[in-house]
A and B are shown apart, each in its own frame.
Chain A
Amino acid sequence: MESVKIMICEKCQVELVPMETTFRYLERSFRHPVPRCPCCGQVYIPEELARGQIRKVEAALEEK
């Protein structure tokens, strides 16, 4: 049986769901869906996202 990872907000005890989220860096903003608590809005950034795409975006925006 395949295991499914469910993320729960520690404060609200509800499941995180993918929601469009605004990121800001060096006075630019962009949007991307990430897991968020539908109650308090807490965002979860997976480590692979932070070390992967987000790092690449930072580099691209810094070059400009």
Chain B
Amino acid sequence: MSEFKPGEFRITKKAMEKWQLPEGSKVLDMGCGRGDTLNHLKENFGFIGTGLELSLKMIEEGKSLYPELELKYGDMEFLEEYPSHTFDGVLSECAMSVAGIPEEALHEAYCVLKKGGKLFISDLYIKNPTVEFIMEQAQRAKESIDNMKHSHDDSCGDSCEEEHRNRVFEYRADGRFIIKPLIRVLEEIGFEDISWEDCTDELDRYVAEKIMKDGSLDGCRCEGALNPSDSFRTGYFMLTATKPQ
């Protein structure tokens, strides 16, 4: 396990079964890491992949492992390089939770998707948040942006991941999504056929295997999310959506 990816490729496979895209489809992986998923999609589905990643170290590793993949340094919130209607599919696995402004990334994904194009996200989420928590979160979200010490720009990298992960949004808290507000955001952007499911068993398996292998969760991105400041449990979800025709 070189990076945080519960489910290995089992969740990815489920999403691709929902996508039903043909061989030769062009897909964008936002927060692609070394490109492991893109390589898997190329080998198993015949997709043509492009990967964006903010970690130069990951890109370097990826280019060494998979020299034929298109892996680029880039921020999922800034996709001006790609014209509208470029990709058949856009995915982001365990990366959206650390994006600076996730709705920006989701809006960009919408723009670069072709009509009828598919979105797939998998990430950490808060299981069973109360109505009060959701309302308080919405209030905190209004205040948090102005209080940010770090101004988001193109130099974002691994060192500011912690700060971005802890930024408060209506649909994200402590590096975990809140499903209902997230779905509202997706609907507002224009996505339809939004479908999500819980995959927490894969997170549990990841945690167990990481502890067995490394002795602890030290250094794992999920470590903080599994010990959050609130009392809600952390789960893992997958979500797919479609850009209308």
A interface residues (Cβ-Cβ under 8 A, vs B): 23, 25, 28-32, 52-54, 56-57, 60-61, 64
**Residue of B with least CB distance to A63:** B226
Question: Shortest Cβ distance from B237 into chain A, in angstroms?
Answer: 15
**Residue of A with least CB distance to B215:** A53
Tell me the bound Cα distance from A29 to B206 in angstroms.
Answer: 10
Assess the B201–A28 pair: CB atoms within 8 A: yes
Tell me the bound Cα distance from A30 to B205 in angstroms.
Answer: 5
Tell me the bound Cα distance from A23 to B200 in angstroms.
Answer: 17
Count: A-B pairs, CB below 8 Å? 43
Tell me the bound Cα distance from A39 to B200 in angstroms.
Answer: 35
**Residue of B with least CB distance to A53:** B212
Assess the A23–B233 pair: CB atoms within 8 A: no
Count the B residues whose beta carbon is within 8 Å of the partner chain — how many?
A: 16
Assess the A61–B208 pair: CB atoms within 8 A: yes
Assess the B233–A28 pair: CB atoms within 8 A: no
Tell me the bound Cα distance from A31 to B212 in angstroms.
Answer: 9
Known: A30-B205, A60-B208. 12 other contacts (CB 8 A): A28-B201, A28-B204, A28-B205, A29-B205, A30-B208, A52-B215, A53-B212, A57-B208, A61-B204, A61-B208, A64-B204, A64-B234
For B211, give its contact among A28, A29, A60, A64 (CB under 8 Å): A60
Contact with A along B136-165 (1 / 0, CB 8 A): 000000000000000000000000000000
A-B pairs, 6 with minimum CB distance: A30-B208, A32-B212, A28-B204, A57-B208, A30-B205, A53-B212
**Residue of B with least CB distance to A34:** B212
Question: Shortest Cβ distance from B26 into chain A, in angstroms?
Answer: 34
Q: Does B23 contact A (CB under 8 A)?
A: no
Within 8 A of A (CB), among B206-245: 207-209, 211-213, 215-217, 226, 233-234
* Interface CB pairs A-B, < 8 A, 15: A28-B201, A29-B205, A30-B204, A30-B205, A30-B208, A53-B211, A54-B212, A56-B215, A57-B207, A57-B208, A57-B212, A60-B208, A61-B207, A61-B208, A64-B226
Chain B residues whose CB sits within 8 angstroms of the CB of A32 once the complex forms: 209, 212-213
Tell me the bound Cα distance from A57 to B217 in angstroms.
Answer: 10
